[in-house]
Chain A
Amino acid sequence: MLDKVEMKAIVEGLLFISGEEGIDEKQIADVLQIDILSVKDILRDLIDQYTDQSRGMQIVELAGVYQFTTKQDHAPYFKRLINSPNSATLSQAALETLAIVAYKQPITRAEIEEIRGVKSERPLQSLVSKLLIKEVGRVEGTGRAILYGTTKDFLDHFGLKSLQELPPLPEKDDDTSLEEADLFFQRFQQNLVDN
């Protein structure tokens, strides 16, 4: 049997890894094999601990789901991180979105969100404002959703002559799917022969 200190540490870890999806009391109860009441008790303790001003995160509850979030007060620093000229890198969200647009264009926002599993309006906006993607058309019919595609700036930026020069996307997992790998090597060898 775990003691309470240990259980609290594990719950802290669970909250951490469950990220923006959060975790509910029942999931915690299942993992620790304790009852819901004890879970509530541990969560209350943890929430108290994090309320302290000296902490960088807080635990919030939304519809029975608990998650760590950052503090509103620190927003200016996160802004500085993402907008700093040294790290003028694209965010993970923007890079993911860009990869999807590059390989699947023309594509709508809904389709991108389907692949990413999260809302993607902001990364799309940020890519449009950086002139890496643009509207390339509209879906026929009702709604007439915007279709996105990459721009010439996109090619310039990544040093590509054309979209054909995009490297192949990584396979999902190749050790397990040997057939895929086999196909790859057939094509690979074909290429060698052709060139």
Chain B
Amino acid sequence: MHEELFRTESVAERVASETLIIDVDGYEGPLDLLLTLSRTQKVDLRKISVLDLAVQYLMFIERATALRIELAADYLVMAAWLAFLKSRLLLPPDPKEDGPSGDELAAHLAYQLERLQAMRDCAAKLMARDRLGKDRFVRGLPEDVSRRRTVIYTANLLDLMQGYARIRTKDDFRPFVLDRDAVITMEQALTRMRGLIGFTGDWTDIISYLPEDWLNDPQKRKSATASTFAASLELAKEGNIEIRQGELYAPIEIRKRS
């Protein structure tokens, strides 16, 4: 007899626990759960008793915990908050205490529930509309619009002349290109010396490396001397030649490094 009673209880309990498990899985968060619980009150969401709701929710959580159902942190946070709300609603307001009153908090929760319900109703209305591909259909044989883009390039004589003038003007500021005949660059001197250095074994005055036709014009000679000297230093730095000067103003001599 005793056993019998015990068994029936445990069956009921088992059924209850199973429903709970299913429900907790089915709920999308504490707000969803609260919304479902509020339906048992069967009243307008604006006239809901938040206190009752809080009590129901806390009971639900208690039962779930007793049945060792894993509850997400969200549910426990909500439980704590509702417990706080419950105490605020039950106790007379403390004038010394700051912050919102229990009624304000309750009103906001009711608002949240009403808003969620409203969004669910909207979602249902939306999905019930005459939808494309289900109730309304698009053209089955659409035609492609061929797109062709033609680009016309334009230029006039003035553009052409300005373009040419621009190049020639630019040249004016690049004396290196135009005055090339009076200048030997270090690179040119270097190229020249690299070719000649192999043929001279002994100490030689660098002046003898200057191109012959550059010796007479003082302008050319100056440029050639300077670049040849610079090139010598470069070659010495590279370790290809040795360089020496006997005394101040004496000829600078170089020879191939052996």
Question: Do A and B share a complex?
Answer: no
